[in-house]
Amino acid sequence: MIELPPAYLAQPRWWHGGSEWLADLPGRVDEQCRRWGLEPDGEVMHGSNALVVPVRRGQTRFVLRLTPPEDDVAAEVAALRFWDGRGVVLLMEAEPAAGAMLLERLDGSRSLQQLPLSEAVPVLGRLMRRLAVPAPTEVRSTADVAAARRVDFPAEWERLGRPFPAATLSRALECAGELSTTGSTLAVNGDLHYEQVLVGGREPWLCVDPVLLRGDMEYDLARILWSRLDEMSDAEVRRHVATVVDEAGLDPGRARTWVLFRAVDYWLWGLGRGLTEDPVRCARLVDLFG
């Protein structure tokens, strides 16, 4: 059986439960390999949530990805099938109830995280545009996300001890109101960042773990910023925003509005889960874009 990497066991994801699933995980990998006729074929990798095992079926190489069953694996499977390799990793087989997916093998050691920001940021902008094809009508809209969070913000702000000024909360609520409607019906990856874009073979760069939304491409620009914000001066933050706007063809004003809204959203989310560094980064984005 495989051994779980210590870094995977230490992920914040497991601070709030999941120990039983982790204890059974090596056996789950073994069972899934038997079911799909796979043999382990390399060093085990992981993200914050998923375990990724290089595998082989005959001479063809894949990766086996396993996540806890309570995660919305079915939605990710649907996203992968929707984009069908367009800017994303190809899905070969899936058993959502088992949290299992068999995927084409990318170079897990080479992501946009390793590139200088001057090279990585334009790639993310181009991927935004590549993924922006007409989305299924039943997919959740970015406008729905903003509308739902607009309702939640005041109570969360109170519960967390009013962690930022009331004026910031009011501005975030204004942004949420503006973003609660959209005329866009394009597909959006709602989890686009450097570590989830890997070197591919069919295309130079491919997304993994996509979250399919419908609406504003500007939705995840804030994540592109806060993921590596410590590497950016204030001037570089503005320059990288301009780069993504140009590469993806975004609306500059709406991009700024989404950055402010999402920064407040993530600030509250992070505080609620005991995170310390990310709320500080969000505070900086609010100062820059508020």
- Which active-site residues does the annotation give? 191
Identify the pLDDT of residue 13: 80
Please check whether residues 92 and 18 belong to one and the same domain. Answer: yes
Q: Which of 65, 90, 105 is the last residue of a domain?
A: 105
Please check whether residues 154 and 217 belong to one and the same domain. Answer: yes
| Residue 1 is assigned to a structural domain of this protein | no
Task: For residue 275, give Cα distances in angstroms to 118, 203, 278, 288.
Answer: 28, 35, 7, 21
Please check whether residues 164 and 72 belong to one and the same domain. Answer: no
Please check whether residues 57 and 155 belong to one and the same domain. Answer: no
Q: What is the pTM of this model?
A: 0.91
CATH number at 146 reads 3.90.1200.10
Q: Which of 105, 136, 160 is the last residue of a domain?
A: 105
Closest CA to 146 of 219, 204, 96, 74: 219
Please check whether residues 90 and 182 belong to one and the same domain. Answer: no
| Residue 12 is assigned to a structural domain of this protein | yes
Please check whether residues 179 and 261 belong to one and the same domain. Answer: yes
Identify the pLDDT of residue 17: 79
Domain that holds residue 233: 110-289
| Residue 273 is assigned to a structural domain of this protein | yes
Please check whether residues 235 and 277 belong to one and the same domain. Answer: yes
| Residue 20 is assigned to a structural domain of this protein | yes
* pLDDT, tens digit, 9 for 90 and up, residues 27-69: 999 999 999 999 999 889 888 888 999 999 999 999 999 998 7
Phi and psi of 109, rounded to 5°?
-90, -5
Identify the pLDDT of residue 259: 98
Q: Is 157 exposed, middle or buried (0-12, 13-18, 19+ CB in 10 A)?
A: buried
| Residue 154 is assigned to a structural domain of this protein | yes
Cα distance between residue 79 and residue 245, in whole Å: 24
Three-class SS of residue 287? Answer: helix
Asked if residues 9 and 51 have their Cβ atoms less than 8 Å apart, the reply is no
Please check whether residues 91 and 115 belong to one and the same domain. Answer: no
Please check whether residues 197 and 181 belong to one and the same domain. Answer: yes
* pLDDT, tens digit, 9 for 90 and up, residues 85-109: 999 999 999 999 999 999 999 998 8
| Residue 31 is assigned to a structural domain of this protein | yes
Identify the pLDDT of residue 71: 67
| Residue 260 is assigned to a structural domain of this protein | yes
Phi and psi of 205, rounded to 5°?
-135, 135
Low-confidence stretches of the chain (pLDDT beneath 70) = 71
Identify the pLDDT of residue 18: 81
Cα distance between residue 273 and residue 17, in whole Å: 13
Please check whether residues 147 and 90 belong to one and the same domain. Answer: no
Identify the pLDDT of residue 117: 98
Please check whether residues 129 and 202 belong to one and the same domain. Answer: yes
Structural domain total, the chain: 2
Identify the pLDDT of residue 275: 87
Q: Which of 81, 105, 129 is the last residue of a domain?
A: 105
Phi and psi of 2, rounded to 5°?
-70, 160
CATH number at 69 reads 3.30.200.20
Please check whether residues 247 and 130 belong to one and the same domain. Answer: yes
| Residue 91 is assigned to a structural domain of this protein | yes
